[in-house]
Amino acid sequence: MVRLVVAVAIVAIAAVVASIVRRRRSTDPPTQGGFELPVQLDRNDFDRPESPWLVAVFTSSTCGSCADVVSKAVVLSAADVAVVEVAFQQRPDLHARYAVEAVPALVLAGADGVVRAGFLGPVTATDLWAAVAEARAEF
């Protein structure tokens, strides 16, 4: 009987020690930062501030999908739509000012600088063109 009590005590102690070790080893999953797009732009920071619409594409030369997003955006350029690529290597000040930490980041802003649509990461031409058409139809 004494052996049984000792065995149960040893097993209980081992279980407690294992639980403590497991808790100490496990780490919380990393916090996922939420990248956000700007909600307001100063149109004077970009080319053609007088244009009713601005499509600003924030990019980087180290970004693999940025060129694809720029090529889709350039098609939108018109008399009333200015399309501007804001490469990090040439304009780090604008990336910092608008807190753009991930690229490609594309925003569509009206004449007042309010962002009406935006995309973070790759975007399909259909989604981009539809967002521009929808924003233009609202105003």
DSSP state letters, 87-99: ETTT-HHHHHHTT
In a domain, 81, yes or no: yes
Q: What proportion of the chain, given as a percentage, has pLDDT over 90?
A: 68
In a domain, 4, yes or no: no
Place 107 in a pLDDT band, splitting at 50, 70 and 90: very high
Give me the pLDDT at residue 26, please: 60
In a domain, 10, yes or no: no
Mean of the per-residue pLDDT values of the chain: 90
Domain that holds residue 100: 43-138
In a domain, 67, yes or no: yes
Q: What are the tens digits of pLDDT across the range 12-59?
A: 898 888 888 777 776 666 666 678 999 999 999 999 999 999 999 999
Give me the pLDDT at residue 51, please: 95
Whichever domain contains 128, its CATH number is 3.40.30.10
Place 71 in a pLDDT band, splitting at 50, 70 and 90: very high
In a domain, 15, yes or no: no
Place 111 in a pLDDT band, splitting at 50, 70 and 90: very high
State how many domains the chain has: 1
In a domain, 127, yes or no: yes
